[in-house]
Amino acid sequence: MKNKLKFTWDVLKLPVIAVIVGFIVGAVCILIAGSNPATAYAALFRGSLGSIPSFGETLYKVTPILLTGLSAAIGFRCGLFNIGSEGQYVMASIVTVAGAWYLQGLPSFILVPLLLMLGILSGGVWGGIAGILKANMGINEVISTIMLNWIALYLSNYLVRTVLNPSTILGDISKGHTVIVPDAARLTKFKEFIPAFGYSSAHTGILIALAAAVGMWFLLFKTTLGYEIRGVGLNPQAAEYGGINNKKNTFLAMFISGGLAGLAGSVQILGLVYMVNQSTELPGYGFTGLSVALVGLSHPLGCIPAALLFGILDNGSRQMQLSGIPKEITKIISAVILVFVAGSLLMKYVPEYFEKRKMKRSGVDGGKQASAGAGKEGI
Amino acid sequence: MSKVVEMKNITKVFPGTIANDHVNFDLEKGEIHVLLGENGAGKTTLMNILYGLYQPTSGDIFINGSKVNIKGPISAISLGIGMVHQHFMLVENFTVTENIVLGNEPSLLGGLKLDMNTATQKVRQVSDEFGLEVDPDAFIEDISVGLSQRVEILKALYKGAEVLILDEPTAVLTPQEIEELGAILRKLTDEGKSIVLITHKLKEVLSMSDRVTVIRRGKIVSTLNTQETNADELAELMVGREVELTSEKTDKKQGDVILSVENLVVKDHRKLDVVKGISFEVHAGEIFAIAGVDGNGQKQLVEALTGLTKVASGKVKVSGQDITGAKPRKVIEAGTGHIPEDRQKRGLILQSTLAENLILGYHYIKPFANRGIMNYKEIHKHGNTLIQEFDIRTPDENVKAGSLSGGNQQKVIIAREFYKDPQLLIASQPTRGLDVGAIEFVHRRLLEQRENNKAVLLVSLELEEVMNLADRIAVIYQGKIVGIMDAKDASERKLGIMMTGGSLEEEGVRNHEE
Amino acid sequence: MNTAIILAVVASAIRLATPLLLAALGGVFSERSGVVNIGLEGIMIFGAFFSVWFTHITGNAWIGVVAAILFGVIAASLLAVISINLKGNQIIAGTAINLLAAALTAFLLELIWHRSGSTPICPDMLTSNPFKFLEAIPILGDLCKQFTPFVYLSFMLVFVTYYILWKTPWGLHVRAVGEHPRAADTVGIGVYKTRWTCVLISGVLAGLAGACLSVGTVGLFREGMVAGKGFIALAAMVFGKWHPVGALSGCLLFGLCSAIQIQAQSFGIDAPSEFLAMVPYLATIIVLIGVVGKAVAPKADGTPYEKD
């Protein structure tokens, strides 16, 4: 039992310390801004967890980043850096609004799942483009997905301004956003069946996100596809040797990853925003998703507490703002956590160190390979 | 004779192992001193300490009688110590000259401008002085392995080395090139240089050295004058017990053709032919070996046969099934097992557990998976069974493959491949980097396959291994098979001639291929 | 085709290429030594912000430039520590720097000027041609009228970069470290030290690139003004096969795309502005597809060096 606890600590040590460091740096920034970190953080947690409605607010903040976190996690597991979840999210959003408008005749129980599927597909296709570029041409997916992000943004802006604008469809005056998603397509809000949620906009999207997390856990660790994706991510040469089709799996991983980011967009549109706005900036959920995935150690179930943490930071920032602290503090805390995780010496060496201890304790003469320096052939 | 180098009571501890245990080693001026030991015995570690790449945990080093502290390669170089590494430390897309002067470049304008003219001049000077011919402007990626080794030696001499350490220098050379190397080394000692040769090969010890020090599991066993000892004594000292230098093989009748290769052509990434029309057959119940110096196309041949590289032209059939250019999965499904030459890069996913490694290649079929869902109960059961059967030293099947020793890692790969009961087993350098116990294990298993009427294609750089195990031997040279003979008719000399491209009719004519 | 328009487009292309070129040269140094620098974008953001801030404080844009360099170096140090000493994943480290830059500059913007979105205009800018005497040259002079000090600086740096990396002993060391760090180590070249220096140089250059975008173009800092240019610079570097002159051609190509986008009306191209805005990003992808198989990175690029 003691061994299991030690192992769990060894593995969780990194994200926990990263979070602590993030909060410390945040505290320093709060001090520079002239406020008291203690009251600031109290406001933060009160604002995000202090009551059921505020918890509900936190829940709806968690929803998109849990999904983009899952998106990043699947990518990482295949050795891919899907920085393109922003663009995939945007594409899904615009497709969802279009679908919601043009298919609004359908009954809700068909319409909503259909729209979510469309969202997954559009995100999947957008991610799949980068997947094909990487699998077949070896094009670095970091650069290609970032380019696709901006292309998606401008495409979305164009559609918002023209085809999907209330001025085009309804003959209204030109607006900076699309037509509004009709009631039939919207996700149910919690307060409709649990009055305790009061004013909060928490919606069933969180349940979809949680289901996706469980689904991804199952996919990664219980299916052949998951075995192959992980193999390609850990050692593509051995995977190829073992008959695994690297190209196919790279594409599938990007498609699934894109699909999850797309689902985030769909859920956000149908559950909360009900429209797409013109924007000069990318929404930002994708980048937060990267942090969620890393803090969650790229494990689908680990993404849940990680997303909760970032959701708390996001929601609580409003309360902090009311106390006069710039809301960017929480973005800084997020970024610092990411920086710390990036520098993790621990992430690589903890499992290895623990393995060696396990070997020694059972009297096995292992570990020689790992300790040999130049030239593994002989010491 | 004065002692140029004295290493006294050197101990080096790594986490989990003591690589050098109170080692005493000395080198006399003008001698060639071999440091002999199995893989993993501690020889390279000791010399890495002398060259400053490692710091000893305790102990002292004396150069020409004075105590020194060798903090790094620069210190070592300034003390006149040079090292030629087992894996060449050469930058592929630099020229010979650039590689030789790297770190000691002649310059103008107070270090702001590279003086390549002087550099080339100096390289020619050193080259002429010691009779080591090279083309200063050639790129390393274009020259042969033997030449690359010369560049490494020149590098050390350019920096003024009086003491030369060569780490496994003969691993990449043909028997004739080994003789040439021996001559070069003798010339160097005549000019007053002192040489340490690290090796695990008994043959070279006896032909090239003045003294030999045997090291075993980090401790010095004995230091002897070469003339006063022999191969058997050295082998026993190296391993600590009597060693079977040859394996017992039963007489076996050749069965059906399992692997048929016709006019196989494979190109490299620069579109040049590396396998130039190879044809051969491997029968059930035989071990067919392909011998040759590293870099003559073996790697690409094996990769083409296993679907890891494209086939430019030709035909490959396994058990009658055409698998030319087929993807690895199809090759596996046709009944092929493959022990890859690079076990860590190709053969295993080091960060995965043994259980997951032991199903790689057939992870998608029953009982390990059904309709895309994995059955981990079966997978673990399978893992445990194989661990027992092949005596893999590990606490359990959940350990990551990267924590195992080289020999045990190879066992994992063998266990996995043998479970498939493949009609054709391709074993590429299966005993590279393994200690004697593990080598014996691998040889036994390969012979077992042969006994069970399976076909084995063995690709190996070790002539002894090839002559020990094979029924028939082919020699590969520059992408072509230059001869196939029965093992009974083979001799090291014959094989050596063929490995350098010579033909047996011209025996006695030495081929300078460079 | 009107000469005036052609000149305008060429001048525009060169001006737009300049920040890309500075960042791309930074990328060349870093990656030639074996460190992938995805954080160029973030360092540019720092450069753009701090140059504006210090210009406001001191009233002198050159001091702003110095500040940009200083903070570029600080940001690059963070990347260096993570990538080199801690052997962390270089792509994540770079992405972390990018996020940190966006968050920190937004925070400081709020804190210092109590507004979000953009700073007020700087009292001093570097947007005019410092070498007035060149304007007398026919045709070329008209181009020079449109140049900023950064343009001249960046062109000069192309040749300086080439000279350093291919004509000096230290440059040979850098390239050796990027191809075969262990070989360099065994002849006594400090792998960590060399990589650190190169990453810091990339910090200087990317910081300059950021300053060029703010103080050298619009005279203020706006959130989101870098908009992926750090990544376009990386693509230009790949296109240029990690060679400064190649990077120059890559950046000019992208500059041209952006220039055409801006001048589209004069060409009679009547396309929606959003599609024109996409052009540089599409061009990047097309360029990357075009160089597939032909551009080979330094062998050790992206792999942390394990010194035993």
3-state secondary structure B384-410: HHHHHHCCCCCCCCCCEHHHCCHHHHH
Convert the pLDDT of each residue in A285-316 to its tens digit. 888 898 899 888 899 999 999 999 999 888 88
In this predicted structure, which of A235-249, B67-81, C83-97 has the lowest mean pLDDT?
Answer: C83-97
CB A226 within 8 A of CB A298: no
Convert the pLDDT of each residue in A65-113 to its tens digit. 999 999 999 999 999 989 899 999 999 999 999 999 999 888 888 999 9
Chain C closest-CA separation from residue B56 CA (Å): 13
**CA nearest C51: which of C34, C64, C66, C37?**
C64
- Interchain CB contact of B192 with A (< 8 Å): no
Rounded-to-integer distance, Cα B512 and Cα B176, Å: 9
CB < 8 Å to B53, chain A: 373-374
Q: Extract the tokens encoding C19.
A: 């920040």
Where does the pLDDT of residue B505 fall: very low under 50, low under 70, confident under 90, or very high at 90 and above? low
Distances from the Cα of C212 to the Cα of A55, A234, C15, C26, C95, angstroms: 45, 41, 10, 14, 22
Mean pLDDT is highest, among A302-311, B18-27, B160-169, C197-206, for: C197-206
Which DSSP string do the residues of A172-222 spell out, in sequence order? Answer: ----SB-PPPPGGGSPPBGGGT-GGGTT---BTHHHHHHHHHHHHHHHHHH
**CA nearest B337: which of B318, B324, B354, B356?**
B318
pLDDT (0 to 100) of residue B9: 93
In this predicted structure, which of B267-271, B433-437, C187-191, C279-283 has the lowest mean pLDDT?
Answer: B433-437
pLDDT (0 to 100) of residue B204: 77
CB C196 within 8 A of CB C89: no
pLDDT (0 to 100) of residue B172: 73
pLDDT (0 to 100) of residue B243: 61
Which DSSP string do the residues of C45-60 spell out, in sequence order? Answer: HHHHHHHHHHHHHHS-
Rounded-to-integer distance, Cα B475 and Cα B488, Å: 15
Average pLDDT, chain B: 88
* Average confidence (pLDDT) over A199-225: 93
Cβ contact A143–C288 (<8 Å) = yes
Q: At what angle do helices C229-239 and C244-262 cross, to 10 degrees?
A: 130
Residue B3 has pLDDT above 50, yes or no: yes
Rounded-to-integer distance, Cα B254 and Cα B236, Å: 36
B342 within domain boundaries:
no
Q: Both B435 and B448 in a single domain? A: yes
Q: Both B151 and B92 in a single domain? A: yes
Residue B193 has pLDDT above 70, yes or no: yes
CATH code (residue B176): 3.40.50.300
Cα C37 off chain centre by: 11
Region label for B311, one of left (φ > 0), alpha (ψ between -120 and 50) or beta (otherwise): beta
| Percent residues over pLDDT 70 in chain B | 96
| Percent residues over pLDDT 70 in chain A | 89
pLDDT (0 to 100) of residue A359: 56
Q: What is the CATH number of domain C3-290?
A: 1.10.3470
Where does the pLDDT of residue B512 fall: very low under 50, low under 70, confident under 90, or very high at 90 and above? very low
Where does the pLDDT of residue B242 fall: very low under 50, low under 70, confident under 90, or very high at 90 and above? low
* Chain A residues 11-40 with CB within 8 Å of chain C: 29, 32-33
In this predicted structure, which of B318-332, B491-505, C10-24 has the lowest mean pLDDT?
Answer: B491-505
- Interchain CB contact of C156 with A (< 8 Å): no
Residue B394 has pLDDT above 50, yes or no: yes
* Average confidence (pLDDT) over A160-180: 85
pLDDT (0 to 100) of residue A377: 24
Average pLDDT, chain A: 84
Kindly give, in sequence order, each residue whose CB lies less than 8 Å from that of residue B372, ignoring residues fewer than 6 positions away.
A223, A224, A225
Which of A83, A147, A295, A334 best tests the C interface by mutation, with the highest count of C CBs <10 A?
A: A147
pLDDT (0 to 100) of residue A368: 33
Cα B400 off chain centre by: 25
Chain A closest-CA separation from residue B119 CA (Å): 29
Rounded-to-integer distance, Cα C147 and Cα C156, Å: 14
Cβ contact B363–A222 (<8 Å) = no
Among the partner residues B51, B77, B91, nearest to C183 by beta-carbon distance: B91
List % helix, strand, coil for chain B (3-state, nearest 5).
35, 25, 35
Q: Both B493 and B407 in a single domain? A: no
pLDDT (0 to 100) of residue C1: 59
* Average confidence (pLDDT) over B137-142: 90
pLDDT (0 to 100) of residue C77: 95
Where does the pLDDT of residue B1 fall: very low under 50, low under 70, confident under 90, or very high at 90 and above? low
Residue A41 has pLDDT above 90, yes or no: no
Q: Both B13 and B81 in a single domain? A: yes
CB C104 within 8 A of CB A26: no
Q: Which domain holds residue B194?
A: 3-239
Convert the pLDDT of each residue in C58-109 to its tens digit. 999 999 999 999 999 999 999 999 888 888 888 888 988 998 999 899 889 9
Residue located via tokens 């066992």: B411
**CA nearest C166: which of B181, B94, B62, A8?**
B94
* Average confidence (pLDDT) over B354-364: 94
- Interchain CB contact of B308 with A (< 8 Å): yes
DSSP conformational letter for A273: I
Annotated domain spans of chain A: 14-30+37-349
- Interchain CB contact of B338 with A (< 8 Å): yes
pLDDT (0 to 100) of residue B504: 65
B179 within domain boundaries:
yes
Q: Both B325 and B441 in a single domain? A: yes
Distances from the Cα of C50 to the Cα of B154, B265, C70, C227, C280, angstroms: 52, 60, 9, 17, 26
B428 within domain boundaries:
yes
β-pairing, B81-84 with B163-167? parallel
Rounded-to-integer distance, Cα C134 and Cα C154, Å: 17
- Interchain CB contact of A192 with B (< 8 Å): no
Three-point CA angle C237, C238, C243, nearest 5°: 55
CB C109 within 8 A of CB C221: yes
* Average confidence (pLDDT) over B343-370: 92
CB < 8 Å to B109, chain C: none
Rounded-to-integer distance, Cα C137 and Cα A273, Å: 58
User: Which amino acid belongs to residue C20?
Assistant: L
pLDDT (0 to 100) of residue A7: 67
**CA nearest A44: which of A321, A319, A328?**
A319
Region label for B391, one of left (φ > 0), alpha (ψ between -120 and 50) or beta (otherwise): left
Distances from the Cα of C69 to the Cα of A339, C81, C106, C230, angstroms: 21, 18, 19, 16
CB < 8 Å to A226, chain B: 374
* A195 or B284, greater pLDDT: B284
- Which of B206, B222, B239 is where one domain is finished? B239
Cβ contact A147–C238 (<8 Å) = no
Q: At what angle do helices A328-342 and C90-113 cross, to 10 degrees?
A: 160
- Interchain CB contact of C103 with A (< 8 Å): yes
Q: Extract the tokens encoding C195.
A: 């990589």
Among the partner residues A223, A351, A366, nearest to B374 by beta-carbon distance: A223
> How many structural domains is chain B composed of?
3
* Chain C residues 4-23 with CB within 8 Å of chain A: none
B453 exposed, middle or buried (CB, 10 Å; 0-12, 13-18, 19+)? middle
- Interchain CB contact of B175 with A (< 8 Å): no
Rounded-to-integer distance, Cα A246 and Cα A251, Å: 9
Residue located via tokens 């173009």: C217
- The pLDDT tens digits along chain C (308 residues) read 577 788 888 999 999 999 999 999 999 999 999 999 999 999 999 999 999 999 999 999 999 999 999 999 999 999 999 888 888 888 888 988 998 999 899 889 988 888 878 888 898 888 888 888 888 888 788 888 889 999 999 999 999 999 999 999 999 999 999 999 999 988 889 999 999 999 999 999 999 999 999 999 999 999 989 988 999 999 899 888 899 999 999 999 999 988 888 777 666 777 788 888 888 889 889 988 888 777 778 888 888 887 65
Q: Both B131 and B269 in a single domain? A: no
Distances from the Cα of B495 to the Cα of A322, B202, B293, angstroms: 85, 18, 11
Three-state DSSP at C251 gives helix
Where does the pLDDT of residue A45 fall: very low under 50, low under 70, confident under 90, or very high at 90 and above? confident
| Percent residues over pLDDT 90 in chain B | 55
Strands (E), B133-249: 163-167, 194-199, 211-216, 219-225
pLDDT (0 to 100) of residue B22: 93
Chain A closest-CA separation from residue C246 CA (Å): 18
* Chain A residues 237-256 with CB within 8 Å of chain B: 237-245
Q: What's the fold here for domain A14-30+37-349?
A: ABC transporter involved in vitamin B12 uptake, BtuC (1.10.3470)
Cβ contact C175–B90 (<8 Å) = no
Residue of C nearest to A31 (CA): C111
Rounded-to-integer distance, Cα A213 and Cα C268, Å: 51
* Average confidence (pLDDT) over A1-12: 70
Q: Extract the tokens encoding B61.
A: 């080093």
pLDDT (0 to 100) of residue B39: 73
Distances from the Cα of B337 to the Cα of B302, B371, B421, B456, angstroms: 12, 24, 8, 9
- Which of B179, B208, B239 is where one domain is finished? B239
Q: Both B310 and B446 in a single domain? A: yes
* Average confidence (pLDDT) over B217-246: 80
Neighbours of chain C (3+ CB pairs under 8 A): A, B
Residue A9 has pLDDT above 80, yes or no: no
pLDDT (0 to 100) of residue A356: 53
Q: Both B256 and B374 in a single domain? A: no
Chain B closest-CA separation from residue A127 CA (Å): 23
Q: Both B298 and B428 in a single domain? A: yes
Rounded-to-integer distance, Cα A238 and Cα A244, Å: 9
B346 within domain boundaries:
no
C136 exposed, middle or buried (CB, 10 Å; 0-12, 13-18, 19+)? exposed
CB < 8 Å to A375, chain B: 44, 85-87, 167
**CA nearest C75: which of C55, C45, C105, C97?**
C97
Rounded-to-integer distance, Cα A339 and Cα C94, Å: 9
CB B435 within 8 A of CB B40: yes
Among the partner residues A83, A146, A342, nearest to C93 by beta-carbon distance: A342
**CA nearest C224: which of A153, A305, B85, B434?**
A153
Rounded-to-integer distance, Cα B5 and Cα C133, Å: 69
